[in-house]
């Protein structure tokens, strides 16, 4: 089973609508990273969250880490076609040196 | 500007061939990683390297080996390619200390084994 669970696995939204992607673990997350991947390409770093309750924004994308540091959400406001792609969360879990990744969420924006 | 490059974007090989995937980073990072990405499974760690000539198995090392002779270069080797190794391969690097564990990724190599 995945150490990081992302939901939903796939999302289709109308352009201009808001959307949320979740990333959940049963263990404490020491550093939560959100990446975006255009189809068939490498990963682009979006944001990193470390502290419980932390929230960061970049343009129309906001990411939060809950107080218990076991869940993060990525929220996109007024979605645009440029937001389409695969969103992955990655995290260090309870002292592990490596990052583990969720399975990804494929986002499609319909015009 | 940080840069991780991979030798090929697309590669087609036959079953049984020996395959080399090269990754180069220009950021003087100590740590380097090889992942494979498959639909529904996300990124899975194959091997990683803490420093030159050091390597450790990740979660799915079977059928793969690696080489790190120079700090900037990390090679993934498929000794005898099989069809179940058809996948997207991503290389990443990061600084070992003093950073926030952020990994920088290359553009990926899509390998097809026929």
In Å, how far is B17's CA from the nearest CA of chain A?
24
Give the pLDDT confidence of B47-99 residue by residue, as tens digits. Answer: 999 889 899 999 899 999 999 999 999 999 999 999 999 999 999 998 876 66
pLDDT reading at A94 higher than 90: no
Q: What is the mean predicted confidence (pLDDT) over A51-56?
A: 92
* Cβ neighbourhood burial of B7 (10 Å; 0-12, 13-18, 19+): middle
> Could you give the CA distance from residue B81 to residue B13 in angstroms, rounded to a whole number?
8
The pLDDT of residue B32:
95
Q: Which of B40, B102, B108 sits opposite A42 (nearest CB)?
A: B108
- Please tell me the predicted confidence (pLDDT) of residue B1: 65
List the single residue in A4, A40, A42 with the smallest CB-CB distance to B105: A42
Q: Where are the beta strands (DSSP E) in B1-114?
A: 4-6, 10-13, 19-25, 31-38, 42-49, 56-57, 64-70, 73-78, 87-94, 104-105, 109-113
Contact predicate B35/B46, CB 8 Å? yes
């Amino acid at each position: 089973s995945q150490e990081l669970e992302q939901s939903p696995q796939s999302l289709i939204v109308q352009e201009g609508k808001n959307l949320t992607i979740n990333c959940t673990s049963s263990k404490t997350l020491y550093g939560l990273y959100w990446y975006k991947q255009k189809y068939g390409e490498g990963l682009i770093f979006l944001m990193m969250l470390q502290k419980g309750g932390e929230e960061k924004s970049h343009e129309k994308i906001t990411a939060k880490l809950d107080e218990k540091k076991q869940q993060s959400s990525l929220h996109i406001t007024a979605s645009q076609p440029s937001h389409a792609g695969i969103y992955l969360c990655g995290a260090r879990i309870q002292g592990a040196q490596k990052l583990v990744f969720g399975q990804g969420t494929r986002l499609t924006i319909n015009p | 500007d940080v840069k991780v490059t991979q030798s090929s974007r697309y590669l087609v090989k036959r079953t049984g061939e020996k395959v080399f995937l090269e990754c180069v980073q220009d950021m003087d990072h100590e740590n380097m990683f090889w992942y494979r990405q498959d639909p529904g499974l996300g990124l899975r760690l194959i091997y990683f390297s803490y420093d030159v000539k050091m390597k450790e198995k990740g979660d799915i090392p079977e059928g793969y080996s690696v080489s790190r002779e120079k700090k900037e270069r990390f090679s993934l080797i498929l000794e005898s390619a099989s069809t179940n190794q058809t996948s997207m391969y991503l290389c990443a690097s990061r600084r070992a200390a003093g950073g926030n564990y952020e990994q920088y990724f290359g553009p990926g190599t899509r390998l097809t084994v026929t």
